[in-house]
Amino acid sequence: KDAGQGVIPTDTRLNVTLKSNKAQGTVELHLMTSNYSVIRAVVIFAEHLFDGEACMLHPIPPSNNVIVQISPAKDVQTMMSIKAMAGLSSNSVQYHVFELNYMMPKFAMYHCIDAHQVTKKPEGYCTFLLAERPTRIWSWLQRSFISIDDQMQQPRGQGPSVVLDVNFISLRTGEPLCIGMTSEQGGTVTIRTDDIEVAGEMVQDLCGFLQVAEQESTANFPDEMEKFKAVLMKVDEYNAVRLKLTAEMADSANLVKALIVKAEDYRMLSDMGNLKKVFAGLQNTNGELIAEYSKRANNHQQLLGQLKEVNMMIQKAAKLRVGSPKTRVVAACRQAIKKNNIHELFQIIRTGQDTSGG
């Protein structure tokens, strides 16, 4: 009798679903048994989702429906390894362990909303030609997002050329994201967001899903470009300071050399009075050199930080394209920076094309 206490029915199943909680700004993993059996503990192993890559939960009291709140810091598709202990009741001495794998979609942190709930359309966008059926884009949405209907929704209140219009809100920032497709030019997809990195991740994921090897795009991200302009201005400032400090250090170094020669002359002449004066001057100049070096090292670190930002922006711009256009954007952007042609750099980021002819 005791040995069988807590053994759950053999047909018990563990059902797993993902839902987004807009109020909490999290993704909810719902675990539910198919009958009255209760879940005593849940352990989830997954990369990029939790600190230490694992999460353990003890529901009090044990219930047949457990919700795990998850808020991934980055958009990464992750396989979750779930282990759940289920028993007949909270007093069970025997438990059955359910083990299953469940995929966390890459863009789970975007909550699907109706078009009328978007108060302000993002100004930033990335648009590209894609000769695919809208249902294929819908299949990608179903795989990479959560709570997407099985049947593709027909856009309402849009122009006749609009064949797809889906709207989301970021659970991290509350910012809107709009994905649309029109029948123009054989199929034009537009991703609207003010975050160039998010747009790039979506272009890469969509093209990967559709197995598109080469993809051009045009883009415009006004907010991001304003920030980038400020970064480039700082790079110019730090470069100007670097050149000035280098010149000053060269002058100080020449003065040190001259003082050492003078000190040697006074030593040969046994002129101790003037030798002391020269050594005092030498000590002061050396102190100034050390201070100048400290300033230069600090300036160098700040310059490196800004150059890293520039490189990151180039990578983000490249991710809006796939294949050789992606490689071309990186090379063209670096060439424009080398020539200090900011107008050309911005043009390349927007169109993916180097129009300078150089």
Task: State which H helix or E strand residue 78 sits in.
Answer: strand 78-87
pLDDT average, residue stretch 207-235 = 93
- pLDDT over 70 at 3, yes or no: no
Same CATH fold assignment for domains 14-104 and 110-212:
no
The rounded Cα 10 to chain-centroid distance in angstroms is 45
Q: Where exactly are the structural domains of the chain? A: 14-104, 110-212, 222-351
- pLDDT over 50 at 4, yes or no: no
- pLDDT over 90 at 147, yes or no: no
CA distance 84 to 97: 5
Q: What is the pLDDT of residue 157?
A: 64
CA distance 138 to 271: 91
CATH class, range 14-104: mainly beta
pLDDT average, residue stretch 30-38 = 91
At the topology level of CATH, where does 110-212 sit? Alpha-D-Glucose-1,6-Bisphosphate; Chain A, domain 4 (3.30.530)
Lowest mean pLDDT among 118-122, 224-228, 288-292, 296-300: 288-292
Q: What is the pLDDT of residues 109-122, one digit of tens each?
A: 999 988 888 888 89
The contacts of residue 124 (CB under 8 Å, 6+ apart) are 192, 193, 194, 195, 196, 199, 219, 220, 221, 222, 223, 224
Q: What is the pLDDT of residue 1?
A: 35
Q: What is the pLDDT of residues 307-322, one digit of tens each?
A: 999 999 999 999 999 9
Tokens of 302: 């700040």
